[in-house]
Structure 1
Amino acid sequence: MKKIFVLSLISVGYFLNAQNLSNSPYATYGIGDIKYDNTIETSSMGGISTAFISDFTSNFNFANPANNANFELTSIKLEATNENNYFKTDYNNTKSTKHSTYLSNISLAFPLSPKLKMGLSYQPYSSKSYEIVHTDTDVETGVTVANRFKGSGTLNTAQIALGYKVNDKFAVGVRANYYFGNLYDLNELAYSNAELINGYETKNSIKNFNFTLGASYQNLNTSTDRKLTIGATTTFGNTSNMTTDYLNSTYYYSDAGQTTKANESPIERKSISSKNLMPLQASVGVGYGEENKWFLSVQGDYKKGESIAYFGQSLDLQDSYRISAGGWYLPNYNNFRSYFSRIVYRYGAFYEKGNLQIAGQNINKFGVSGGVLLPFKNSSITRMSGLELGIEVGKRGTLKNNLINQNYINLKVGFNFADKWFRKTLYN
């Protein structure tokens, strides 16, 4: 059984790298829609993770690797996300919808010693999958001008995390992050009275490496079982190798599906390298709760702005921040007469000031989330395996200045298989 799980991780990782993810039109800019959200556990609580140390021995925290003092079992997680996006703009009163389902996380974590814990994770970090066509007809000449924007590709991340428990109250951790993938953007301009199309292609090949450092402090009052948790992380050490190839050319399509170019004539071709793909990030959080009963946390995240190449020009992304609040509640795990009393209920909300500003409008995002951990029949408070379900409902963008408002409902499902695997039993 254990060998099957390990082989599944390899095959699932191949599938994750090849899948196509849904996007909003705002994925046109930069490296696309950010998909990385750690786990169902974290996203169901509004994104809080920096000051979240699980009370249970089966959950590994990748966002802040210092928060794994209680982790004692080997854990394998498989998670999937179903995205449902609903777009609207006042331009011609246009509406559209987009749906997709994809594998969003696979991870393996295990303790190396009572104080040292280790985790491996593989997730999609960002993606582009959009196609927008804008047409305008001159009433005097009857000539129609069409602008087509198309993008595709996925940026994945592989991570290895280590957490070390210094003493009963303080812990530190480090995570190495490797980003890799290819992103493609195309902007085409076509006139109804011209045979040739003018196209501008951008192809990005990305390999990036950086580190995340984390620290946490937790003080447990043994007389009341109440605990205070403080955590912080920072991501730095950006070592990027992003090669961007630009091609400005004219051509026409030889097939009805517009996939095969013919008579292509380059106008301009160039290639550049970028070294600042992943900007500095920092997070701080504080939480308070009761052991094995409930927990509530507030968290602030910051990401430094950057300048990136976009269709041959520089695009400035702003500093962004995110405020999250969330937690969990467990009614009574020892009540074996009521299964609902043994379910972990999660809740959260967030507001995010985005890094995009278009037509004088900030493209911000906010949402609420919730979820449950449905324990398996043989689970216990010290061996919490189960089915995890999560939902996030939110809004991004605005209708002002003919921009696009995006409402979304994301559904998540996953399994956490936790046990004392890969250990030898010693006998005297």
Structure 2
Amino acid sequence: MNKIFVFAFIALGTSLGAQSIGNSPYASFGLGDVKYDNDLNISAMGGISSAYIPDFSNTFNFANPAANFNLELTSLRGQVSNENNFYKSNQTGYDKTKHSNYLSNISIALPLSSKVKFGLSYQPYSTKSYNIMTQKNLGEENQQFNLFRGEGSINMVEGALSYQVAQGFGLGFKTKFHFGKISDIEESFFSNSELINGFETSSKIKSFNFTFGSVYQYKTPSDNKLTLGATYQFGNSGTMESTYTNSTYFYTKNVRRDINIIEKKNSESKNIIPQVFTAGLGYGKDNRWFTSAQVEYTKGRKLNYVLQNFEYQDAYKISAGGWFLPNSNDFRNYFSRVTYKYGGFYEKGDLNINGKNIDSYGLSLGANFPLKPTSNSFNSIDVSVELGKRGTTQNNLVQQGFINLKVGFNFADRWFIKNLYN
């Protein structure tokens, strides 16, 4: 495992011309490339969520489960993401582009009563998808190859409950279940031999995690509003079971054969999902505009693998953003009824590689395009775009530029709840 973590990034800096990188070279570290918190309505505003109470009756805030006073309709939402990553390094003029498309979020939310709201969602948490090849000339027409690759993903199902304690004050609770399997594989072989020496660390994850949220909103007589919100994600109560295998084998049509296991070891880690605290402040006017700022702190942790522990650093993220709606009652001009969103963020990342923090920053824009509303429905097509950079080209590392497009639908109606409002 130590070889994969350390040598993979050394290879990125010294042998870039011989590599084939997957979705992200950073996926070779820890639990992989994290995709969580990808709700387009949140990411379109730079990630602000803790002080964000949606003004409209068709939206549920999973990031802060307390902030759902206004949900009155059953909301069914789906979302797909198109990721475009651009990698470059100062070494050998390396420049490479990768694209990926995937289902990134699906959820349902509904009011159980005028004060109690419930939501259930699915989304990927992280993925391991990288492929790095290095080559070394040994003389006499013999070459040594080392292939580093990652496979698998961690997915997540979450359920959230929101309760409005009093006018303007709410509490919320959310539980998340993480599950999946990820693998880091190194294969070493020579050009004059078909025998392959493989080193594989596979990890199975099953973990529950809990988040508590609170929010308070004060409304002035002029319909302006001041909002305070905070969330705390507790440590998890699950496990990661890892198996390290050192073996030799041959390939026949991409299938391993004649497997000879040299060494096999197991380990277990419980400190998988981090503790996270967020706090935000927002100000706006009912059904017209809203702006907010947020600070997020993620506590570092150590993952226990068989051969080498992996340590995440303490991290923080600063976000700012909001939305505005020109005129929801202007039925002559459709674009006056579109909700426009904007935001930006800076994140001190939890990875430190070759003595450098892997930080990121970005800007985002988005819009909610309403479909024809009725007295019982409020549907929309939602779009967001996020662009920014991650990492650095210093110390033989790779910088990642990204343009992420997200498109979703929101079908909101009085399904299951007609008796509550008749």
User: How far apart, CA to CA, are the structure 2 residues paired with 1:172 and 1:269?
Assistant: 48
Which amino acid counterpart does residue 56 of structure 1 have in structure 2?
Answer: F
Gaps of 5+ in 2: 1-21
Q: Report the alpha carbon displacement of residue 197 of structure 1 after superposing the two structures with TM.
A: 2.5
Partner residue in 1 for 2:185:
186
Correspondences of 1:109-258 after superposition (within 5 Å): 109-138=109-138, 143-222=142-221, 224-255=222-253
User: How far apart, CA to CA, are the structure 2 residues paired with 1:233 and 1:69?
Assistant: 16
User: How far apart, CA to CA, are the structure 2 residues paired with 1:311 and 1:46?
Assistant: 38
Return 69-78 or 92-101, whichever deviates more: 92-101
Q: Report the alpha carbon displacement of residue 363 of structure 1 after superposing the two structures with TM.
A: 0.9
Return 333-342 or 184-193, whichever deviates more: 184-193
Q: Report the alpha carbon displacement of residue 426 of structure 1 after superposing the two structures with TM.
A: 8.4
Partner residue in 2 for 1:267:
262
User: How far apart, CA to CA, are the structure 1 residues paired with 2:420 and 2:377?
Assistant: 21
User: How far apart, CA to CA, are the structure 2 residues paired with 1:50 and 1:252?
Assistant: 53
Q: Report the alpha carbon displacement of residue 397 of structure 1 after superposing the two structures with TM.
A: 1.2
User: How far apart, CA to CA, are the structure 2 residues paired with 1:89 and 1:80?
Assistant: 30
User: How far apart, CA to CA, are the structure 1 residues paired with 2:306 and 2:190?
Assistant: 20
Q: Report the alpha carbon displacement of residue 66 of structure 1 after superposing the two structures with TM.
A: 0.3
Contact 1:56 1:383 in 2 (8 A): no
Confirm or deny that 1:322 pairs with 2:320. no
SS at match of 2:311: strand
Partner residue in 2 for 1:17:
none
SS at match of 1:96: strand
Contact 1:38 1:62 in 2 (8 A): no
Return 244-253 or 363-372, whichever deviates more: 244-253
Confirm or deny that 1:73 pairs with 2:67. no
Which amino acid counterpart does residue 146 of structure 1 have in structure 2?
Answer: F
Which amino acid counterpart does residue 237 of structure 2 have in structure 1?
Answer: T
Which amino acid counterpart does residue 87 of structure 2 have in structure 1?
Answer: F
SS at match of 1:49: coil
Return 310-319 or 355-364, whichever deviates more: 310-319
Q: Report the alpha carbon displacement of residue 96 of structure 1 after superposing the two structures with TM.
A: 1.8
Partner residue in 1 for 2:19:
none
RMSD (Å), alpha carbons? 1.9
CA gap of 1:105–1:379, structure 2 versus 1, over 3 A, is: farther
Q: Report the alpha carbon displacement of residue 425 of structure 1 after superposing the two structures with TM.
A: 4.0
1:320-377 CA distance string (max 9 Å, x none): 1111111001011111111111100000111111111111111111111111000002
Contact 2:361 2:390 in 1 (8 A): yes
Q: Report the alpha carbon displacement of residue 147 of structure 1 after superposing the two structures with TM.
A: 1.9
Q: Report the alpha carbon displacement of residue 144 of structure 1 after superposing the two structures with TM.
A: 2.6
Correspondences of 1:34-53 after superposition (within 5 Å): 34-53=34-53
Which amino acid counterpart does residue 418 of structure 1 have in structure 2?
Answer: A
TM-score by length of 1: 0.90
Contact 1:57 1:383 in 2 (8 A): no
Which amino acid counterpart does residue 320 of structure 1 have in structure 2?
Answer: A
CA gap of 1:28–1:112, structure 2 versus 1, over 3 A, is: same
Q: Report the alpha carbon displacement of residue 302 of structure 1 after superposing the two structures with TM.
A: 1.2
Deviant stretches of 4+, over 6 Å:
none
Contact 1:159 1:178 in 2 (8 A): yes
Q: Report the alpha carbon displacement of residue 387 of structure 1 after superposing the two structures with TM.
A: 0.4
SS at match of 1:154: strand
TM-score by length of 2: 0.91
User: How far apart, CA to CA, are the structure 2 residues paired with 1:278 and 1:426?
Assistant: 38
User: How far apart, CA to CA, are the structure 1 residues paired with 2:288 and 2:161?
Assistant: 27
Q: Report the alpha carbon displacement of residue 311 of structure 1 after superposing the two structures with TM.
A: 6.7
Q: Report the alpha carbon displacement of residue 416 of structure 1 after superposing the two structures with TM.
A: 0.6
Return 382-391 or 329-338, whichever deviates more: 382-391
CA gap of 1:252–1:288, structure 2 versus 1, over 3 A, is: same
Q: Report the alpha carbon displacement of residue 137 of structure 1 after superposing the two structures with TM.
A: 2.5
Partner residue in 2 for 1:360:
355
Q: Report the alpha carbon displacement of residue 273 of structure 1 after superposing the two structures with TM.
A: 1.5
SS at match of 1:341: helix
SS at match of 1:54: coil
CA gap of 1:251–1:426, structure 2 versus 1, over 3 A, is: closer
Which amino acid counterpart does residue 246 of structure 1 have in structure 2?
Answer: Y
User: How far apart, CA to CA, are the structure 1 residues paired with 2:378 and 2:46?
Assistant: 21
Q: Report the alpha carbon displacement of residue 104 of structure 1 after superposing the two structures with TM.
A: 0.7
User: How far apart, CA to CA, are the structure 1 residues paired with 2:95 and 2:168?
Assistant: 53
User: How far apart, CA to CA, are the structure 2 residues paired with 1:323 and 1:121?
Assistant: 25
Partner residue in 2 for 1:16:
none
CA gap of 1:427–1:107, structure 2 versus 1, over 3 A, is: closer
User: How far apart, CA to CA, are the structure 2 residues paired with 1:195 and 1:309?
Assistant: 33
User: How far apart, CA to CA, are the structure 2 residues paired with 1:424 and 1:188?
Assistant: 60
Which amino acid counterpart does residue 377 of structure 1 have in structure 2?
Answer: K
Partner residue in 2 for 1:62:
62
Contact 2:265 2:306 in 1 (8 A): no
Which amino acid counterpart does residue 329 of structure 1 have in structure 2?
Answer: F
Partner residue in 2 for 1:347:
342
Partner residue in 1 for 2:28:
28
Query: How many residue pairs end up in the alignment?
Result: 401
Partner residue in 1 for 2:13:
none
SS at match of 1:42: helix
User: How far apart, CA to CA, are the structure 1 residues paired with 2:372 and 2:238?
Assistant: 46
Partner residue in 2 for 1:11:
none
Which amino acid counterpart does residue 266 of structure 2 have in structure 1?
Answer: S
CA gap of 1:416–1:351, structure 2 versus 1, over 3 A, is: same
1:239-286 CA distance string (max 9 Å, x none): 11211111012223233xxx2223322221011111111121111111
Which amino acid counterpart does residue 278 of structure 1 have in structure 2?
Answer: I
Partner residue in 2 for 1:13:
none
Alignment match of 1:287 (pick from 257, 282, 293) = 282
User: How far apart, CA to CA, are the structure 2 residues paired with 1:427 and 1:236?
Assistant: 36
Which amino acid counterpart does residue 72 of structure 2 have in structure 1?
Answer: E
Gaps of 5+ in 1: 1-21
SS at match of 1:27: helix
Confirm or deny that 1:409 pairs with 2:403. yes
Confirm or deny that 1:374 pairs with 2:372. no
Which amino acid counterpart does residue 165 of structure 2 have in structure 1?
Answer: V
Correspondences of 1:383-398 after superposition (within 5 Å): 384-398=378-392
Return 129-138 or 152-161, whichever deviates more: 129-138
Which amino acid counterpart does residue 128 of structure 1 have in structure 2?
Answer: K
